[in-house]
Structure 1
Amino acid sequence: MLTCALCGKELTPPSRGRKPRYCSRSCQARAYRARRAAPPARPQRGDPGLSQERIVWAAIRIANAEGLESMSMRHVADVLGVKVMSLYNYVEGKDELIDLMVEAVFSVDGDSEPPPPQGWRAGLEAAAWFEWELYSTYPWVLEVIATVQPPLVPSLLARFERGLGALDGLGLDAATTHRVYLGVSGIAQGLGLLRVSEIAAGRRGDGLSLSQWRRVKVPAVLDELGADRYPRQAALRENTEILTDLDEIFDFSLRRFLDGVARFLEGR
């Protein structure tokens, strides 16, 4: 019997082609994050093999565990067990270090990736899921790149170029191509805010999870204020879990957006 490699749900084998490993993109995303969750081993204090790569990944570990605001040159030096001034032989300062961190995470697995999917829709889906999984694995990245002036490092530009390339051959002008791709990226970044907030709350341990919020907090507030005043929200009282799986919400939103792009392309 063929089952999902993550949740164990029974899968229906296809009549031909490659057998699926997961029952949904949600399970695939969770498995991906589990593989990416273990960064390089933390070096021992006093280890003499200092390098720019070790400095960068030490900073990434700090940002993952404590948030970008906790990452400083002194903190990185302490993690590596070296004097803070020794870091400046490899990195000019915190701003350059953040750029190098973005370069590193956007290029993870870059050399071992499969060839780009065939077709514009598959290409945009792959680009969107890469971005979504990146924010889920390295939540601090969203804070750095979801701005009007993101760091223009080579690996980020390469990812952007690859995403735009999914729309090659469709007769779209450069501006329209960018608008479509930014719409796809915007879904990942918008819902990514919820993912990052959820991760930060779990890290602090001082707030409700999204599931607890939907199941406990929201119904309690609606009861207090009068559920009849908010009937559409109260209608979800018995189905709160439907809005707590952010992977599924992202998948649904992305598919509906791409459905709209398909209609737009057909209209041309």
Structure 2
Amino acid sequence: MKTAGNTILITGGGSGIGRELAARFHALGNTVIVAGRRKEVLEQTIAGREGMLAITLDMEDPEAITACAGQLLADYPSLNVLINNAGIMRREDLTRTRDLHNAEKTIVTNLLGPIRLTNALIDHFARQPDAAVVNVTSGLAFVPLSGTPTYCASKAALHSYTLSLREQLKGKVEVIELAPPGVRTELEPGQSNREGFMALDEFIEETMTLFGEKPTPAEILVQQVGFLRWAERNGHFDQAIEIVAAH
């Protein structure tokens, strides 16, 4: 993936990892479009940055995704990179019957949202030079945190989907997976101050260095996530489950 001269759409661009990726890619000379539900935080992301734009998009609404994609392609025909970053995490108690609203919302946002948006753009991307799709998964796709089971399942599913997407689009569209460790953002309330989590600026710095490698790695993995990504292969999966559960 080239790191300059792109037109990039980043979902979940109003905060956290999405906001910082937007700033860094914009600084490299890309046109960046950030998408999310809350207009006010998107406006904060783009404030003072010429060539960065904001659009509101509800990733739970399939009709909104289709309409938004059509408008984007009409307004920005040079669009060639999609970063599927939007996601939510909710705690769930599986020991009793419960309302499944949060579980269903998580699957729709974290899995169906990226599938739908990629689908809406893929014909265009297949005709674009230097096109790329970046799916943001998680280290928890490989070692789940039991307190957030549907989040972990959605990221594991997105990892698997990304593998198939990469194989089918080989030679047409570059497909990259970005799997963060626990990062100090507000994905969960209080997470931005949590012990043992990676500082956001350090994560972004290492991530952008990896994006700059030639060729770009198929998986963008900062050093800290390796413990989770390779837990099963390296024989410490049970230990990793216990460590993750402590958080």
TM-score bin (small chain)? 0.3 to 0.5
Higher helix residue share: 1
Alignment TM-score, normalising by the size of structure 1: 0.33
TM-score, structure 2 length as denominator?
A: 0.35
